[in-house]
Amino acid sequence: MEKNIIEVPCEPIAVSDEEYSENGYVRLPYKDNEFKEFITSLLGEPQSIDGIISGKFNITVSDVDKLHQFISQRIQTQNKGRLIQFVAKVAYNDKSMITLNSLNDFLTYNEIKPLVPTALHITWTYLIKFPEKEYPEKQRISVSFISGKFYRKMFDIDFFTSAIRSGVVEYKIQHTSRSWGVDIENLLTNRINSIIEKPKKLHEILSKKKTLISFSFSSIICIGVFYTLAKKVSFYRRTELSNVNADMERLMDNLNAKLDYVMEYIASGSVNRYNSILIIAGIVSIITSVVLAFWLQECLDIGEQSHILLTDESKKDKEKDDKAEKNNWRKLILTIVSSILTGIAGSFIYDFLIRK
């Protein structure tokens, strides 16, 4: 039975036919460590460069295609590299995931279920022969777009990841040439930064200083209300003492009447009533200010959501998030106005309780 025998000498590959009763063989003659170096270049553990860029993005199929063309053009032009594998993994909000093994499959894929993509992981694997190396070596580039609304647990990426409110783009370059890896990293980060939308200045300030702003504002409201109440207590105490002094002067030298008046005044509990109301008002103000601080902090967290726009449902989700962002601004303004009105109302209520 005739079988093809592929002979791979150190010179160009030659194919010869011989008769064997078993399956064909691959002959790989080598000198010294040539075979070991060849296999190591394909299967060995390469060096890696990885990083994370956070920010808002709205990635589309067209953006992925442009990114692919950008990387391929660079590698094929300068390194004459050969793409041996393209893999795209898409994770959805129902915890499902699909894997597409070619660029064309990715560009033409149409998800029929009403799902929202939460993460997109793309891997390019190239064979590149560097001038200083005898054999072509495998290089791998990975880029992940992760929306901040969901934790990403599906991709087998072994470097640090985190779910940030706006979104993150993670990249990893596995290489056998350090200079090539650094060059690709610079190229890749510049391209990713062009995709990341610049945050609005006000959004950025509010998001970074939300804790300081919220607790400072609530503390000012609390201190303002408590100070106002304390001033009113002092005023009513002075007024009441003036009235007591005036009554005592009218009683003249009637000692028994004065003692009876003092005993009645003490028994009325006016002083204790002022103090009790002031303490209760202070406690209520502190609790209200703490609740207000946390609520205001939530309102100040006006994160700009990232989206992976690969399905019709994801486009609807983006529209919903855009509306929610506008409503968040309204909620923030309403919270500030409400807190001020609450402080004013608390002052009037306290005034009413004192006069009662």
Residue 162 and residue 245 in one domain: no
Residue 187 and residue 282 in one domain: no
Residue 78 and residue 149 in one domain: yes
Residue 316 and residue 193 in one domain: no
pLDDT at 193 over 80: yes
Q: SS3 sequence, the chain?
A: CEEEEEECCCCCCEEEEEECCCCCCEECCCCCCHHHHHHHHHHCCCEEEEEEEECECEEEHHHHHHHHHHHHHHHHHHCCCEEEEEEEEEEECCCCEEEECCHHHHHHCCCCCCCCEEEEEEEEEEEECCCCCCCCEEEEEEEEEEECCCCCCCCCCCCCCCCCCCEEEEEEEEECCHHHHHHHHHHHHHHHHHHCECCCHHHHHHHHCHHHHHHHHHHHHHHHHHHHHHHHHHHHHHHHHHHHHHHHHHCCCCHHHHHHHHHHHHHHCHHHHHHHHHHHHHHHHHHHHHHHHHHHHHHHCCCCCCEEECCHHHHHHHHHHHHHHHHHHHHHHHHHHHHHHHHHHHHHHHHHHHHC
Residue 162's pLDDT is 39
pLDDT at 26 over 60: no
> Higher model confidence: residue 307 or residue 214?
307
Q: Report the range of poorest mean pLDDT among 22-31, 85-94, 276-285.
A: 22-31
Last-in-domain residue among 198, 218, 235: 198
Cβ–Cβ contacts within 10 Å for residue 60, how many? Answer: 15
Residue 223 and residue 254 in one domain: yes
Residue 115 and residue 235 in one domain: no
pLDDT at 172 over 80: yes
pLDDT at 253 over 50: yes
Q: What is the tally of structural domains in the chain?
A: 2
C-alpha distances (whole Å) from 338 to each of 10, 55, 284, 319 are 82, 32, 16, 28
Average pLDDT over residues 190-202: 84
Residue 77's pLDDT is 83
Show the tokens assigned to 134: 């005898």
Average pLDDT over residues 202-207: 69
Q: Is 9 contained in some domain?
A: no
Which residues span the domain enclosing 263? 202-355
Residue 54 and residue 187 in one domain: yes
Q: What is the pLDDT of residues 264-305, one digit of tens each?
A: 655 555 666 667 777 777 777 778 777 777 777 776 666 678
Last-in-domain residue among 146, 180, 198: 198
Residue 246 and residue 180 in one domain: no
**Is residue 251 very low, low, confident or very high in pLDDT (cuts 50, 70, 90)?**
low
Cα–Cα dist 113/128, whole Å? 39
| pTM of the model as a whole | 0.63
Q: What is the pLDDT of residues 63-84, one digit of tens each?
A: 999 999 999 999 988 878 899 9
Residue 167's pLDDT is 85
Residue 256 and residue 348 in one domain: yes
Burial class (CB in 10 A: 0-12, 13-18, 19+), 22: exposed
